[in-house]
Amino acid sequence: MIDAGSTGSRIHVYRFNYCNLSPTLEDEIFKEIKPGLSSYPDSPKDAADSLEPLLQLAMSKIPKELQDCTPIAVKATAGLRLLGNEKSNAILKAVEDKIKKEYPFKLPKENGVIVMEGKDEGVYAWITVNYLLNKIGTEKKEDTVAVMDLGGGSTQIVFEPLTIDHLQYPIPESNEGYRVELKFGNFKYILYQHSYLGYGLMEARKSIISEGSTVNQCFPDSFNKDVTIENKDGIDETVKITGTEKVNFRDCFKTIKSVLFNKTVACTTNPCSFDGIYQPSITETFNNNEIYAFSYFYDRTTALGLNLNPEVEDIAELARKVCSNGKTEFDSVTKDDPYFCLDLTYLYTLLSYGYDIKTDKKILLAKKINDIETGWCLGATIQMLDSMVQEGKLYSCSKKWTFNY
């Protein structure tokens, strides 16, 4: 499975044992390259060729006699979505042609090389994490965990709201865009999901920087540079950003709230998170269950030594320390990366204000579970394999385990 993300492309080569109630993952090989496919908007061939190191890795690791029956898929995320249909389709076509002409792997007839919907990205990530934690595909129904994925272009939240007698059912049938039904074995799972395009970390940076001088409170006084961003009309423009001695968490928090999180938009179905988006209250429907956060949630916090099971407030406290011009224990890391104040404040704002998660709620930061990468790739691979089994295109010694989505 190739994850063509906004900041880079990654390959996951999985080996499964398909002889149990659910497919057992035995091994994963992982490799990442930068930049991503979206960095070649006007050169589809160069975009396709950029995947060469990943495809060659697969060739070197998969036994030759199994290569022509090994399925492969390339799924792009928010970076390509943001390029528009014409450019993204040209890149996808070049990638598909390259794999078909130069490699023996088995591309599905449909959806082999696609821009994945944000909805699928979040749901597959939920499958990955809950599968690795043995919460699904088991003999007995277990309490599941929520997942929050923060990429470069978009962010996703997916969880299974608990039904509480005195509340309206958490996901009304009319909200088809938010409601997802899955079946694993004998158990059905009704999930809430939403993908916020434009709220990934890199896109959030662009939105905040485009506000010009109001962003200064998010940058130290050592930051003084011209930043090229795409404005709201899709045109590149240069914005001069100058840091300030008055850099501080409180003002940066206010700026991010006002620029990105609109809570005055009409909420047609209560309750809402922001921008009029329906979301069951995590406090009321999921407060006692675990929340896993990964990708940039993990990368930007653990780089500064934050523990892997912090309270949401701990992220704010870390941001307060970083968002100052005084000497801190983080200077060796932050001196070459002036975005830490903005990024950490954005993470806290998204969790506490955007999703309305209590600040004393603990979250689990994870890059790997049982030495396997978190994210959507494993979930998407499980779905692809099961589809091939059901269609008789992939041998399975047991049909007991079923996946429906």
Q: Which two tokens stand for residue 361?
A: 């709620």
Count other Cβ atoms within 10 Å, centred on residue 283.
Answer: 11
Q: Which string of DSSP letters, residue by residue, matches 60-95? A: HHS-GGGGGG-B--EEE-HHHHTT-HHHHHHHHHHH
Using left for φ > 0, alpha for ψ between -120 and 50, and beta otherwise, residue 154 falls in beta
Write out the E strands in 272-328: 291-295
212 is in an annotated binding site: no
Q: Which two tokens stand for residue 265?
A: 């938009």
279 is in an annotated binding site: no
Q: Which two tokens stand for residue 9?
A: 């492309």
Rounded CA-CA distance 25/13 in Å is 11
What amino acid occupies position 392? G
Rounded CA-CA distance 175/168 in Å is 13
156 is in an annotated binding site: yes
Rounded CA-CA distance 401/371 in Å is 24
3-state class (DSSP) for residue 28: strand
Rounded CA-CA distance 158/146 in Å is 6
3-state class (DSSP) for residue 175: coil
| Catalytic hit among 121, 160, 203, 290 | 121
Write out the E strands in 231-352: 236-242, 291-295
The Cα-based distances of 209 to 227, 300, 303 in angstroms read 8, 18, 23
Cα R_g (the chain), whole angstroms: 22
154 is in an annotated binding site: yes
Kindly give, in sequence order, each residue whose CB lies less than 8 Å from that of residue 81, ignoring residues fewer than 6 positions away.
88, 115, 118, 153, 154, 197
Query: Catalytic site residue 121?
Result: yes
As to burial, measured by CB atoms within 10 angstroms (0-12 exposed, 13-18 middle, 19+ buried), residue 17 is exposed
Q: Please report, in range form, the residues annotated as the binding site.
A: 152-156
Q: Please report, in range form, the residues annotated as the binding site for ATP.
A: 152-156
Catalytic residue numbers, as ranges: 121
